[in-house]
C-alpha cells in the first residue's frame, strides 16, 4: 500500500469522526448497525477473532466489512481513543472515500463500486427532494395553501 494513500484514509476517518459520521467502538457500532445507519464496518488488522465474529453478526451480509491496514493502536491514536478495533462510517460519501483511499483495488474494488452506486442514488434522491419534483412523474407537486 502506498503510504500517502494510507495516510489519506486514516485522515478521512479522523475527519469523519469529528463530523459525527464515524462511530467508534464495538458497542457503538452494534447500536448504529441495528438502527440502520451504518454504511461500512471498518476493522483493525489485528482485531480479535471475537471482534471479527461480532462485526460479521452486525453486518449480516447487508453491510460491507473492510479490514484496515492499521493496528488497533494506530487506529485508536488517529481517532482519539484509548483502544479501538472497530469503527463504522454512517455517511455514504465518507464510506466511499475511505474505502477508495485504501487503494487495494483487488480486494476493495467491488465494495467501492457498490458504495459508489449507493452514493449516487443518495445524491439523486436528495436532489429530487430539494427540487420539489416527484420521483415517478418528474412533475412538481402543488403547494398547499
Q: Please write the tens of the pLDDT for every residue from 56-80.
A: 999 888 899 999 999 999 999 888 8
pTM score: 0.76
Q: What is the DSSP string of 50-75?
A: HHHHHHHHHHTTTS-EEE-SS-HHHH
Q: Provide the CATH number for the domain around residue 72.
A: 3.30.1330.30
Spatial CA neighbour of 94 closest among 38, 44, 32, 46? 38
Residue 140 belongs to some domain of the structure: no
Q: Which domain holds residue 99?
A: 3-131
Q: Which three cell numbers stand for residue 80?
A: 482519539
Range 117-127 average pLDDT: 82
Spatial CA neighbour of 86 closest among 33, 38, 41, 34? 41
Residue 137 belongs to some domain of the structure: no
Residue 42 belongs to some domain of the structure: yes
In the chain, the number of structural domains is 1
Residue 125 belongs to some domain of the structure: yes
CA pair distance 74, 142, nearest whole angstrom: 54
Residue 142 belongs to some domain of the structure: no
Amino acid at each position: 500500500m502506498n503510504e500517502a494513500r494510507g495516510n489519506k484514509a486514516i485522515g478521512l476517518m479522523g475527519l469523519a469522526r469529528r463530523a459525527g459520521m464515524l462511530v467508534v467502538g464495538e458497542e457503538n457500532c452494534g447500536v448504529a448497525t441495528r438502527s440502520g445507519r451504518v454504511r461500512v464496518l471498518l476493522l483493525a488488522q489485528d482485531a480479535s477473532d471475537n471482534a471479527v465474529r461480532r462485526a460479521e453478526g452486525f453486518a449480516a451480509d447487508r453491510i460491507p466489512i473492510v479490514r484496515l491496514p492499521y493496528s488497533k493502536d494506530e487506529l485508536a491514536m488517529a481517532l482519539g481513543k484509548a483502544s479501538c478495533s472497530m469503527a463504522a462510517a454512517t455517511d455514504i460519501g465518507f464510506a466511499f472515500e475511505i474505502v477508495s483511499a485504501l487503494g487495494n483495488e483487488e480486494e476493495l474494488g467491488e465494495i467501492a463500486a457498490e458504495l459508489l452506486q449507493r452514493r449516487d442514488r443518495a445524491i439523486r434522491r436528495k436532489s429530487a427532494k430539494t427540487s420539489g419534483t416527484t420521483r415517478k412523474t418528474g412533475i412538481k407537486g402543488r403547494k398547499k395553501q
